[in-house]
Structure 1
Amino acid sequence: MENILRYYLMPHPPLIIPNVGKGQEKVIQNTIDSCNKVGEEISSLKPETIVIITPHGTMFSDAIAISNEDEIKGNFNQFRDLETYIGGKIDKEFNEKLINICKKGHIPAVGIDSKLLKRFNKAFELDHGAMIPMYFINKFYKDYKIVHITYAMLSDIELYRFGIAIRESAKNLNRKIAIIASGDLSHRLTEDGPYEYSSEGAKFDKTVLEYLQKGDIVSVFNMDKCMVESAGECGLRSVYIMLGAMEGEEVKGELLSYEGPFGVGYGVMSFHNKINNKSNLELLINEKKIAFNSKISNSNPYVKLARESLNYYYSTGQLMGVPKDLKKEMINERKGVFVSLKKFGNLRGCIGTFLPTTNSVAEEIIRNAVQAATEDPRFERVTEDELVDLDLSVDVLGEPVKATKDGLDPKVYGIIVSKGHKRGLLLPDLEGVDTIDYQLQIACEKASIDYHQNFEIEKFKVTRYKEGE
């Protein structure tokens, strides 16, 4: 008999708790009924341990957090419910086995406790992403320990491998467990939702649920990144880990319910899998390599050079020389260049020059690409393992010209503000920078210039090159 008895996808809307919803929860009655069904099913399975993967515990950017004290509890005080408390005993033996497996497999994971979290001014407690599934389980079954996991912003493959480590831990301990991937789907389904509406929201929800029902694991991992980012979800990384725990199984999801009346998608799903001993990990890694190589081969020369610069630097520790087979303008022209690195849609590094500081655009790209990865003070240094998950863009700056506020357009022009020796630059067409005033405010903040005082303005255009375009 398999150690993992069942897997579930569950949402975590706080208003589903009666003392929080105060009647509003009745709008998502189908979700409530499905969560009760999960609780009843778990009661019949009687797992010794329930592994809950949540997005809302204390999250680290570089390591998955595993709560590791004897007990853990939480409440809904932040949602004005002073009566409902949830808690349980932690399966520390499982944690120890899981952390050791991760250490041997070089999977970034760390046990956290009150002492560690105090350093970050955080409390050791359950979050609502864990408590809401437990609320429904505890109605029917309480004789279990928990493993409380908060995912990190790691690559999808790393999260999948962590899921495999959960599977190995259960097998090695001969522990009967159930796994819950806690996560809401798109938060951008309607105009009056908690986030700005996106037409990609409903598309994401429909797509990911269909793939999970079919057991099409590769497609879950290969969903369009722009769609995923636009959807504003919080459950996909929980799903990645859960799917890793399904390694060696034929996946089949049963959708119990889906609702989105408050602008957020709530999906409840139960998985009835069969053992087939086929590995998806190798397939996922190969698919990733194919997609990565395709992206590189289809990139324009500017972004391709930035990528080659990073690969060369991380292989040799040195800056590469300028290749001879580049476009003439890349070798002969001197311009300012910004290189930006994004990881899963989030900025990971950006370094550039207002005006040229080297002999060519090519040299500017080579140097700034490496500095964006290693010297941006806002971020930790990019590791070599991260390179495959980065998306690069190169902005080649036009000549700055003096300007007035009336002649600006944040979608068309970048700006340079200056006062004395202080200078601040902001590139054009940045997400969320939609007004001239906001663009000027940000540029002034970067230069430590008082926005309400007089300062000089220059504007410039850029030619932007993106990887894969």
Structure 2
Amino acid sequence: MPYCAGRVSLRPAICGLLPHPPIVVPAVGGDRLDACRATVAACREFARRLVEADPDRLLLVSPHSPRRPDACGIWAGKRLRGDLGAFRAPGAAVDLPHDPELADELGRSARARGVRTWDIPPAQLDHGAVVPLWFLQDAGWSGRTTIVSLPYPGGADLRAFGAALGAALGRLGGSPALVASGDMSHRCLPGAPAGYHPRAAEFDREIVRRVDAGRLDQIDDVDPELRELAAEDVVDSSLVAAAALGFQPHGHEVLSYEHPFGVGYMVAVFHDGRAGGGLEALPAVAREAVAAALERRAARTLPQPQGVLAQRAPVFVTLRRRSDGSLRGCIGSLEAMCEHLVAETANRARAAALEDKRFPPVRAEELADLRFEVSVLSAFMEVQTMEELEPRSYGVVVSDGVDRRGVLLPGIEGVDTAAEQVEIARRKAGIAAGALLRLQRFRVHKVEEP
């Protein structure tokens, strides 16, 4: 029977990008690990989400796996093994079962789309595969795994290969995970491995902007000269993963970006199958927590912390009067303080109702006139220029780098420019005018009562 190359819908548990610098693995990084702590934390967060999503299988695209000029490679062998012995850390190793079913299906799917493939003989995995897999394995991943390589630049249609990958995963069914391995520009700072170029950081900003906006279809639409001078290996692997999704992101999020050693590292979620779903229960959690506190009883009918509600994230709870829309209380934190979003929301709701020093404590008779809003914050990302801020889309954290921090949520009425947003957050933090500021931005998923 002829193989059908038709599009099969892919619904992954999670898909995203992990960097592959060996230095982010503790056994390699040692006392230099603190310089890349944002990347390490984001890699662990991505790995935690992947394992909690419980995918049926994992596929990883590595730009450092063996290549051929005009064909994409698929690792063979019963087990996929590798370590970081070349970086003086042989104990940092991965050992995962190969997935021959997916490998075979992928080969057929690629050929049906005119993309050649070849089997990579069993050998030690490259660090482009080992580093991401180390974080996933350390978080608890032990399932079926497939690793693919890329052709030489321009040697094959990567969009077609990604579509073949997505169709193969979709045809096998279940809920797979898909990870692209890649580092951004290797020339961001003087002394960088590939030498410094003053425009290298511009490339990184362009890629971060596209991913943050969910424009995965534009991830390879970068000035070729800029891409060449950046000395990157992130675009092709990310393009393959994005094409597997049909360039349809969901719950996309940049978890971190930094370039501490001159190489840009980005950790990002392209698609999270659990994103958003379930958060609509949080306003009811907030209301019940406040009602219980006012009535001096235990909270009733709170949802179980399952799925997205089991995640840890910072939360702000806002109370507004239904009668006139005026603010009645707002309390939140920049770090998750509880084990899951249900408890986090309940705690912040009680604080917003009873501890916001701008207002007297809420009284029981006011509850009927209050509308509860819950804002779940994304990971924070460093901002280098004011142009990266957009007060309608991003919240901002302003700090002095020591002990003062101010925060402003996005979409605040009357705050129309980045300069206004930063100035308000600076004043809230009590930071002197003219002080050197550290800026971070974040997105918010807001759910509110009708």
Q: Same fold (TM over 0.5)?
A: yes
In structure 2, what residue type is equivalent to 1:200? R
In structure 2, what residue type is equivalent to 1:81? A
Q: Deviations over 1:332-371 (max 9, x none)?
A: xxxxxxxxxxxxxxxxxxxxxxxxxxxxxxxxxxxxxxxx
Question: Does 1:200 pair with 2:208?
Answer: no
CA contact (8 A) 2:15 2:177 kept: yes
State the distance in 2 between where 1:248 and 1:40 align. Answer: 24
Structure 2 alignment gaps of length 5 or more:
1-8, 274-450
State the distance in 2 between where 1:239 and 1:111 align. Answer: 21
Instruction: Name the SS of the counterpart of 1:58 in structure 2.
Output: coil
The alpha carbon displacement at 1:92 in A equals 0.6
Q: Give the number of the structure whose alpha-carbon radius of gyration is greater.
A: 1
| CA-atom RMSD in angstroms | 2.0
The alpha carbon displacement at 1:142 in A equals 2.5
Question: Does 1:101 pair with 2:106?
Answer: no
In structure 1, what residue type is equivalent to 2:38? N
In structure 2, what residue type is equivalent to 1:92? P
State the distance in 2 between where 1:83 and 1:272 align. Answer: 32
In structure 2, what residue type is equivalent to 1:141? G
CA contact (8 A) 1:8 1:181 kept: yes
Give the equivalent residue in structure 2 for 1:145.
144
State the distance in 2 between where 1:16 and 1:76 align. Answer: 12
Give the equivalent residue in structure 2 for 1:33.
41
State the distance in 2 between where 1:248 and 1:53 align. Answer: 16
Give the equivalent residue in structure 2 for 1:169.
168
State the distance in 1 between where 2:251 and 2:159 align. Answer: 17
1:392-411 pair list within 5 angstroms? none
Change over 3 Å in CA distance of 1:159–1:95 after alignment to 2: same
Give the equivalent residue in structure 2 for 1:155.
154
Instruction: Name the SS of the counterpart of 2:139 in structure 1.
Output: coil
State the distance in 2 between where 1:61 and 1:130 align. Answer: 20
Change over 3 Å in CA distance of 1:251–1:213 after alignment to 2: farther
Change over 3 Å in CA distance of 1:218–1:43 after alignment to 2: closer
The alpha carbon displacement at 1:248 in A equals 6.0
Change over 3 Å in CA distance of 1:140–1:106 after alignment to 2: same
In structure 1, what residue type is equivalent to 2:119? G
CA contact (8 A) 2:259 2:265 kept: yes
The alpha carbon displacement at 1:238 in A equals 0.4
The alpha carbon displacement at 1:78 in A equals 0.7
State the distance in 2 between where 1:156 and 1:179 align. Answer: 22
State the distance in 1 between where 2:70 and 2:238 align. Answer: 18
State the distance in 1 between where 2:252 and 2:11 align. Answer: 19
Instruction: Name the SS of the counterpart of 1:221 in structure 2.
Output: coil
The alpha carbon displacement at 1:20 in A equals 1.3
In structure 1, what residue type is equivalent to 2:39? T
In structure 2, what residue type is equivalent to 1:146? T
Give the equivalent residue in structure 2 for 1:363.
none
Give the equivalent residue in structure 2 for 1:330.
none
The alpha carbon displacement at 1:217 in A equals 3.5
Q: Deviations over 1:262-304 (max 9, x none)?
A: 0000000012368xxxxxxxxxxxxxxxxxxxxxxxxxxxxxx
Give the equivalent residue in structure 2 for 1:61.
69
Q: Deviations over 1:369-420 (max 9, x none)?
A: xxxxxxxxxxxxxxxxxxxxxxxxxxxxxxxxxxxxxxxxxxxxxxxxxxxx
Give the equivalent residue in structure 2 for 1:257.
256
Give the equivalent residue in structure 2 for 1:184.
183
Change over 3 Å in CA distance of 1:200–1:109 after alignment to 2: farther
In terms of fraction of residues, the more helix-rich structure is 1
The alpha carbon displacement at 1:4 in A equals 1.4
Q: Which segments of structure 1 move beyond 6 Å, counting only runs of 4 or more?
A: none
In structure 1, what residue type is equivalent to 2:148? I
In structure 2, what residue type is equivalent to 1:147? T
State the distance in 2 between where 1:200 and 1:263 align. Answer: 13
State the distance in 1 between where 2:218 and 2:179 align. Answer: 21
CA contact (8 A) 1:51 1:180 kept: yes
CA contact (8 A) 2:73 2:149 kept: yes
Instruction: Name the SS of the counterpart of 1:22 in structure 2.
Output: helix
Scaled by the length of structure 1, what TM-score is found? Answer: 0.54
In structure 1, what residue type is equivalent to 2:141? K
Identity of aligned residues (%): 26
CA contact (8 A) 2:10 2:169 kept: no
In structure 2, what residue type is equivalent to 1:209? V
Give the equivalent residue in structure 2 for 1:22.
30
The alpha carbon displacement at 1:152 in A equals 1.4
* Stretch moving more, 82-91 or 232-241: 82-91
Instruction: Name the SS of the counterpart of 2:157 in structure 1.
Output: helix
In structure 2, what residue type is equivalent to 1:62? D
Change over 3 Å in CA distance of 1:41–1:48 after alignment to 2: same
Which of 33, 56, 73 aligns to 2:81? It is: 73
Instruction: Name the SS of the counterpart of 1:83 in structure 2.
Output: strand
CA contact (8 A) 2:180 2:241 kept: yes
* Stretch moving more, 77-86 or 179-188: 77-86
Give the equivalent residue in structure 1 for 2:120.
112
CA contact (8 A) 1:14 1:132 kept: yes
State the distance in 2 between where 1:223 and 1:138 align. Answer: 33
Change over 3 Å in CA distance of 1:8–1:219 after alignment to 2: closer
Instruction: Name the SS of the counterpart of 1:130 in structure 2.
Output: helix
Aligned length: 266
The alpha carbon displacement at 1:218 in A equals 4.1
State the distance in 1 between where 2:138 and 2:249 align. Answer: 31
Q: Deviations over 1:188-237 (max 9, x none)?
A: 00111111211221000000110111122343232100000000101111
Give the equivalent residue in structure 2 for 1:219.
218
